[in-house]
Structure 1
Amino acid sequence: MGTVNENELYSIGDVARRTGLSVSAVRYYSDAGIVTPTEQTPAGYRHYDVQAIARLEFVRTLRELDAGLDDIRRVLAGETTLHDLAAAHLAVVEEQTRRFHARRAVLRSILRQDTPDGQVVLMHRLVSMSDEDRERLLDEFWAEVSEGLDVNPAMIDRLSQTRAVLPDDPTPEQLEAWIELADLVRDEDFRAAVRSHLREEYSTEAGRIMSSSSMLDSIDEGTPIMAEAMEARRAGIPVDSSRARDIADRYSAWLSGVCGKPDCPEFRQQSAKQLRIALELHGTRNAEADPHWESPFTGPHDRYLDLVATINGHPTSDELVGMMADQVPYAWLADALRASASSSEPGTAA
């Protein structure tokens, strides 16, 4: 604004130069009652003091942020706060940005391939959906496929939590995956297949045991132990160290509780053997090496999970199989169990 005298009045031309507004804009805000002149001569000349100039600069800033005249009036009159005005306008800008990114994603997808007219309409409709609308679509899917099944609701809740969250700026691949996912969850045959899979997997006696709340809780209790084993493996902790022994003790105590078997050297040796088998299945065998090998990710909802993974930017099931050996410390934990079993006193974990 430059140096000003607090007691001096400035002509409309000076005000325009100091605020960066045009003379007509200063006059417009005066006529609109936004910032009136401090003084107006009988001849109609308008003069402004320092406070008026500061208010005009503030008005200019708000206008550049797309604030309307009514909003500006309320702020200047103290009827609303600048914080509230900024929050309201930020929400508008973020929604406009989301829509812009959505349109850009649709255009990118159209350029990637010869997209039929109907597909373009579907793309635009899906990408324009709110997060709540997308959540509702998946809620309806899981509600229908699980209705009336003799399956622990906690298991259904766990399965249904695998949700797709379309980014604000999706890639063409993510957008195309969402289109396919929306088609999939609406498909009656797919819904029937998932419903049948849930019944076959979790309505049997063995399935009810594996999907019971106590079993699910037990699995959750074992997760931090596996995470600690992963950290120890990456840190190069020796399998016969005291830290490895502590992890092996707690893992074996947890596993014996899940299996209902006593924690003893023989149990630890057998558990180590099972981990080695898991390592072979998940880490070293694949469909090319063994045509009889089956992915551990089976079921009619495989494609659902892969599409969700693509949308969320996570590895798909095929990629996950290749990563499994590195993500789960099978070998390290098996060796730690063997080392603990070889001790004269295997000990127990708290």
Structure 2
Amino acid sequence: MNGDDDLYGIGELARLTGLSVRTIRFYSDSGLLPPTERTHAGYRMYDIHALTRLKFVRTLRELGVDLPTVNRVLSREVSIPELAAEHAEALDVQIRTLRLRRSVLRAVAKRGSSPKELEMVHELARLTEEERQAILDDFWAEVDAGLPATENAAWMRKVRAELPDDPTPEQVEAWIELVELVRDPSFRAKIRTMAVENARMVSEGTANPLSNAWNTAMEQALTKVADAMAAGQQPESDAGRRIVLEMNAAVARELGREGDADFDEWLIKLNDTFGDDRAERYWNLLGTINGWPAYPSPKPARDWLTAATRAARG
């Protein structure tokens, strides 16, 4: 028994391979498993080579290979290494898709989304990198429309939302929130106001709130604010007033406006123009999407400094 000359009926093949009789008959009818011979009564019989072939077909099917490709392998139109490489690549795509779906579902579960929002989240998560960038390009095109090109604007346009192939639910959620933010008319209007005011000041030579000198003065002030907050000082304290006066003096020197009676009022107005938490949120969301290292938010210190500025003015 089980020698090279042994023949097996379909029922015996089913017992030896664990496949159903119906499946084996289908493979035989489709040409994947030609019978070795037939009995006088017309029953199909298979030899040991057919059994080996059937086990090979079973293995390929368990790996997810479709029947046309199985037939190509058996016909030697494609080699096993070629099949393995092609199938592994196809599986990579399927795995990325499944992981993305998992992240979308977890993000939706966390947000408590409605059916309509579920569809929106799914569609946004499936966008290509170019399609994601097009959403940001549209945002910046409206913000910068008609304004002279600046180095800073060009840099901001280059920062892409690079959602990975295997995003975490947090990254998917950050991407959805970013899209909602840049599509918010009030946010677009606010950033447009910032861009227009910045362009005006640059052209007049009055100031550039995005310049190195401006940033240096602000960073120094925020460092002092952090120390004051750690010491339990309030914005309306003497420490708060001193920090505001020192920062204002540093900025005034940079702008050549020392002794200007309207300078403090102008500085408060400028802070109202450029101080928007959503602008910081934009970059925080991009950081989450792109996997940038997290950094402490300057918002508490900035709010303290704003309060101290208003207290010093009063």
TM-score band, normalised by the shorter chain? 0.5 to 0.7
SS in 1 for 2:147: coil
> Is the 2:99–2:167 contact (alpha carbons within 8 Å) kept by the matching residues of 1?
no
Identity of aligned residues (%): 35
Alignment of 1:243-258 (within 5 A): none
Give the ranges of 4+ consecutive aligned residues of structure 1 lying more than 6 Å apart after TM superposition. Answer: none
Equivalent residue, structure 2, for 1:165: 163
Alignment CA distance shift 1:118-1:85 (3 Å): closer
Identify which range, 55-64 or 12-21, moves more after superposition.
12-21
Equivalent residue, structure 1, for 2:281: 303
Equivalent residue, structure 2, for 1:194: 191
Mark the runs of 5 or more structure 1 residues left unpaired by the alignment.
216-273, 323-350
Alignment CA distance shift 1:62-1:131 (3 Å): farther
Alignment CA distance shift 1:152-1:169 (3 Å): closer
Q: CA deviation at 1:284?
A: 3.6
Using the alignment, how far apart are the partners of 1:94 and 1:180 within structure 2?
Answer: 22
Using the alignment, how far apart are the partners of 2:56 and 2:47 within structure 1?
Answer: 15
Using the alignment, how far apart are the partners of 1:282 and 1:316 within structure 2?
Answer: 21
* Partner deviation per Cα, 1:116-159 (whole Å, 9 max, x = no partner): 56544543443454554333322322333234321236752345
Residue 178 (structure 1) aligned with residue 167 (structure 2): no
* Partner deviation per Cα, 1:4-38 (whole Å, 9 max, x = no partner): 75x44441444334433233322221111122233
> Is the 1:146–1:195 contact (alpha carbons within 8 Å) kept by the matching residues of 2?
yes
* Partner deviation per Cα, 1:240-299 (whole Å, 9 max, x = no partner): xxxxxxxxxxxxxxxxxxxxxxxxxxxxxxxxxx9x9589348645597453579x9955
> Is the 1:141–1:185 contact (alpha carbons within 8 Å) kept by the matching residues of 2?
yes
Alignment CA distance shift 1:33-1:184 (3 Å): same
Using the alignment, how far apart are the partners of 1:156 and 1:46 within structure 2?
Answer: 74
SS in 1 for 2:14: helix
Equivalent residue, structure 2, for 1:16: 14
Using the alignment, how far apart are the partners of 2:127 and 2:287 within structure 1?
Answer: 19
Alignment of 1:89-104 (within 5 A): 89-104=91-106
Q: CA deviation at 1:186?
A: 1.1
Alignment CA distance shift 1:183-1:105 (3 Å): closer
Equivalent residue, structure 2, for 1:74: 72
> Is the 2:36–2:44 contact (alpha carbons within 8 Å) kept by the matching residues of 1?
no
Q: CA deviation at 1:69?
A: 1.6
Using the alignment, how far apart are the partners of 2:40 and 2:99 within structure 1?
Answer: 49
Equivalent residue for 2:23, pick from 22, 25, 28 = 25
Alignment CA distance shift 1:135-1:118 (3 Å): same
Q: CA deviation at 1:169?
A: 5.1
Using the alignment, how far apart are the partners of 1:164 and 1:196 within structure 2?
Answer: 27
SS in 2 for 1:301: helix
Q: CA deviation at 1:161?
A: 0.8
Alignment of 1:216-235 (within 5 A): none
Alignment of 1:101-112 (within 5 A): 101-110=103-112
SS in 1 for 2:46: strand
> Is the 2:287–2:294 contact (alpha carbons within 8 Å) kept by the matching residues of 1?
yes
Alignment CA distance shift 1:122-1:84 (3 Å): closer
Alignment CA distance shift 1:39-1:290 (3 Å): farther
The alignment's TM-score, normalised by the length of structure 1, stands at 0.55
Equivalent residue, structure 2, for 1:244: none
> Is the 1:181–1:304 contact (alpha carbons within 8 Å) kept by the matching residues of 2?
yes
Alignment CA distance shift 1:202-1:42 (3 Å): farther
Residue 56 (structure 1) aligned with residue 34 (structure 2): no
> Is the 1:30–1:36 contact (alpha carbons within 8 Å) kept by the matching residues of 2?
yes
Alignment CA distance shift 1:144-1:39 (3 Å): farther
Alignment CA distance shift 1:90-1:27 (3 Å): farther
AA in 2 matched with 1:84: E
The alignment's TM-score, normalised by the length of structure 2, stands at 0.60
> Is the 2:96–2:166 contact (alpha carbons within 8 Å) kept by the matching residues of 1?
no
* Partner deviation per Cα, 1:300-331 (whole Å, 9 max, x = no partner): 621211222344555666x2559xxxxxxxxx
Residue 146 (structure 1) aligned with residue 144 (structure 2): yes
Mark the runs of 5 or more structure 2 residues left unpaired by the alignment.
245-270, 300-314
> Is the 1:142–1:160 contact (alpha carbons within 8 Å) kept by the matching residues of 2?
no
SS in 1 for 2:121: helix
> Is the 2:104–2:121 contact (alpha carbons within 8 Å) kept by the matching residues of 1?
no
> Is the 1:105–1:169 contact (alpha carbons within 8 Å) kept by the matching residues of 2?
no
Q: CA deviation at 1:199?
A: 4.3
Aligned pairs, number: 250
Aligned-residue Cα RMSD (Å) equals 4.3
Using the alignment, how far apart are the partners of 2:275 and 2:99 within structure 1?
Answer: 39
Using the alignment, how far apart are the partners of 2:28 and 2:292 within structure 1?
Answer: 57
SS in 1 for 2:193: helix
Using the alignment, how far apart are the partners of 1:39 and 1:154 within structure 2?
Answer: 79
